[in-house]
Structure 1
Amino acid sequence: MSSTEKRPKRLNWKERSFEVKMTTKTDKHKNNEVIQSNAPVENAPKRELVLDAAGTLPPENYIPRRKVTKLKWNGPIFEIQGYYYLENLPLLNDDMVKKSLVLINASGEKTEFPLKDKNIRQLKIDKEHGVDDLYLWSGFQGKYNLATDTSDGKPLPAGTYTVYLKLEVYVSTRKKYEQLFSLGNINEFLNDGFYSTKMEYFSAKREMKFNLLATYDEGVKTLKIKSTKLKDFNPAELTADASRKKGLFYRFFKKYGFKLFYMFFTLFPLQTKKVLFASDSRTDMSGNFEFVFAEMQRRDLDFDYHFSLRKTILEEKSYKEMIELAYHLATSKFIVLDDFYPMVYPLRIRANAELVQLWHAVGAFKTFGYSRIGRPGGPSPLSKNHRNYTKAIVSSKNVAKHYAEGFGIDIGHIVPTGIPRTDIFFDQDYQNRVKNDLYEQFPYLKDKKVIMFAPTFRGNGQQSAHYPMEVLDLDKLYKKFKDEYVFLFKVHPFVKNDWSIPYQYSDFFYDFSEYREINDLLFVTDVLITDYSSVCFEFALLNKPMVFFAFDVAEYVQERDFYYDYHSFIPGPLVRSTGELIKTIETGNFKMEKIHPFVNYFFENTDGKSSARVVDQIFLEQQGNDENLK
Structure 2
Amino acid sequence: MKSKILMKYRSLLVRVYSIIFRIIGLLPRNEKLIIFESYSGKQFSCNPRAIFEYLEENKDKYDYRLIWSIDKRNKDLFDNVDVNYLKRFSLKWLWYMATAKYWITNSRLPLWIPKPRKTTYVQTWHGTPLKKLANDMDEVHMPGTTTEQYKRNFLKEASKWDYLISPNAYSTEIFRSAFQFKKEIIESGYPRNDLLYAKNRDDISKRIKRKLNIDDNKKIILYAPTWRDNEFYGVGKYKFNLQLDLEELQKQFQDSAVFLLRMHYLVRENFDLKKYNHFVKDVSLYQDIRDLYLISDILITDYSSVFFDFGNLKKPMIFYTYDLEMYRDKLRGFYFDFEQNAPGEIVVNKEDLYLKLKNIIQMGSLPNEYNQFYDEFCSIEDGFAAKRVIERIL
Q: Same fold (TM over 0.5)?
A: yes
How far residue 419 of structure 1 moved from its aligned partner, in angstroms, is 0.9
Native 8 Å contact 1:280 1:311 kept in 2: no
How far residue 609 of structure 1 moved from its aligned partner, in angstroms, is 0.1
Larger strand proportion of the pair: 1
Residues 1:608 and 1:308: Cα distance change in structure 2 (over 3 Å):
same
| Per-residue CA distance 1:165-221 (angstroms, 9 max, x = gap) | xxxxxxxxxxxxxxxxxxxxxxxxxxxxxxxxxxxxxxxxxxxxxxxxxxxxxxxxx
Q: Which letter maps to 1:355?
A: Y
The 5-angstrom pairing of residues 182-581 of structure 1 reads 241=3, 244-245=5-6, 248-254=8-14, 256-279=15-38, 281-282=40-41, 285-300=44-59, 301-310=62-71, 321-342=89-110, 345-361=111-127, 363-372=128-137, 374-377=139-142, 378=147, 380=149, 381-383=151-153, 384-410=156-182, 412-429=183-200, 431-460=201-230, 463=236, 465-469=238-242, 471-497=243-269, 499-501=271-273, 503=275, 505-558=276-329, 559-581=331-353
Query: How far apart are the structure 1 equivalents of 2:157 and 2:21?
Result: 18
What percent identity do the matched residue pairs reach? 25
Note the residue ranges of structure 1 that are not aligned, 5 or more in a row: 1-236, 620-630
Q: Which letter maps to 2:240?
A: Y
Native 8 Å contact 1:573 1:591 kept in 2: no
Residues 1:606 and 1:444: Cα distance change in structure 2 (over 3 Å):
closer
Residues 1:567 and 1:485: Cα distance change in structure 2 (over 3 Å):
same
Query: How far apart are the structure 1 equivalents of 2:90 and 2:47?
Result: 24
Q: Which letter maps to 1:263?
A: R
| Per-residue CA distance 1:102-142 (angstroms, 9 max, x = gap) | xxxxxxxxxxxxxxxxxxxxxxxxxxxxxxxxxxxxxxxxx
Where 2:295 maps in the other structure, the secondary structure is: coil
How far residue 260 of structure 1 moved from its aligned partner, in angstroms, is 1.5
Structure 1, 588-597 or 598-607: larger mean CA deviation? 588-597
| Per-residue CA distance 1:243-301 (angstroms, 9 max, x = gap) | 955x74453131x2122212222332233333222456335643322221222233321
Q: Which letter maps to 1:466?
A: K
How far residue 407 of structure 1 moved from its aligned partner, in angstroms, is 2.6
Query: How far apart are the structure 1 equivalents of 2:5 and 2:292?
Result: 41
How far residue 592 of structure 1 moved from its aligned partner, in angstroms, is 2.2
Query: How far apart are the structure 2 equivalents of 1:319 and 1:454?
Result: 29
**Are 2:380 and 1:610 equivalent residues in the alignment?**
no
Larger helix proportion of the pair: 2
| Per-residue CA distance 1:324-360 (angstroms, 9 max, x = gap) | 4443343322122122221xx3455344431111222
Query: How far apart are the structure 2 equivalents of 1:312 and 1:557?
Result: 35
Query: How far apart are the structure 2 equivalents of 1:433 and 1:326?
Result: 41
How far residue 320 of structure 1 moved from its aligned partner, in angstroms, is 10
Residues 1:248 and 1:348: Cα distance change in structure 2 (over 3 Å):
closer
Where 2:354 maps in the other structure, the secondary structure is: helix
Where 2:328 maps in the other structure, the secondary structure is: helix
Residues 1:350 and 1:443: Cα distance change in structure 2 (over 3 Å):
closer
Query: How far apart are the structure 2 equivalents of 1:609 and 1:319?
Result: 31
Q: Which letter maps to 1:420?
A: P
Native 8 Å contact 1:280 1:309 kept in 2: no
Residues 1:615 and 1:251: Cα distance change in structure 2 (over 3 Å):
same
Query: How far apart are the structure 2 equivalents of 1:493 and 1:484?
Result: 29
Query: How far apart are the structure 2 equivalents of 1:280 and 1:479?
Result: 36
Where 1:554 maps in the other structure, the secondary structure is: helix
For the aligned residue pairs, the C-alpha RMSD in angstroms reads 3.0
How far residue 389 of structure 1 moved from its aligned partner, in angstroms, is 0.9
Q: Which letter maps to 1:365?
A: L
Where 1:593 maps in the other structure, the secondary structure is: coil
- Which has the higher Rg, Structure 1 or Structure 2? 1
How far residue 507 of structure 1 moved from its aligned partner, in angstroms, is 5.0
TM-score with structure 2 setting the length: 0.83
Query: How far apart are the structure 1 equivalents of 2:88 and 2:367?
Result: 54
Residues 1:483 and 1:389: Cα distance change in structure 2 (over 3 Å):
same
Q: Which letter maps to 1:618?
A: I
Note the residue ranges of structure 2 that are not aligned, 5 or more in a row: 75-85
Residues 1:442 and 1:499: Cα distance change in structure 2 (over 3 Å):
closer
Where 1:355 maps in the other structure, the secondary structure is: strand
- Report the equivalent of 1:87: none
Where 2:174 maps in the other structure, the secondary structure is: helix
Where 2:121 maps in the other structure, the secondary structure is: strand
How far residue 591 of structure 1 moved from its aligned partner, in angstroms, is 4.8
Aligned residues: 367
Native 8 Å contact 1:279 1:337 kept in 2: yes
Where 2:216 maps in the other structure, the secondary structure is: helix
Native 8 Å contact 1:477 1:578 kept in 2: no
- Report the equivalent of 1:217: none
Native 8 Å contact 1:261 1:327 kept in 2: no
| Per-residue CA distance 1:535-584 (angstroms, 9 max, x = gap) | 11121111110100000000000111111111123110100111111222
**Greater relative CO (CA pairs within 8 A, separation 6+):** 2
How far residue 606 of structure 1 moved from its aligned partner, in angstroms, is 2.6
Q: Which letter maps to 1:486?
A: V
Query: How far apart are the structure 2 equivalents of 1:443 and 1:592?
Result: 30
Query: How far apart are the structure 1 equivalents of 2:324 and 2:368?
Result: 23
Query: How far apart are the structure 1 equivalents of 2:160 and 2:375?
Result: 31
Query: How far apart are the structure 2 equivalents of 1:444 and 1:293?
Result: 29
Where 2:222 maps in the other structure, the secondary structure is: strand
How far residue 594 of structure 1 moved from its aligned partner, in angstroms, is 1.9
Native 8 Å contact 1:259 1:347 kept in 2: yes
Native 8 Å contact 2:226 2:264 kept in 1: yes
Residues 1:571 and 1:262: Cα distance change in structure 2 (over 3 Å):
same
Q: Which letter maps to 1:597?
A: Q
How far residue 420 of structure 1 moved from its aligned partner, in angstroms, is 0.8
The 5-angstrom pairing of residues 120-199 of structure 1 reads none
TM-score with structure 1 setting the length: 0.53
Residues 1:248 and 1:556: Cα distance change in structure 2 (over 3 Å):
closer
Where 1:483 maps in the other structure, the secondary structure is: coil
How far residue 369 of structure 1 moved from its aligned partner, in angstroms, is 2.2
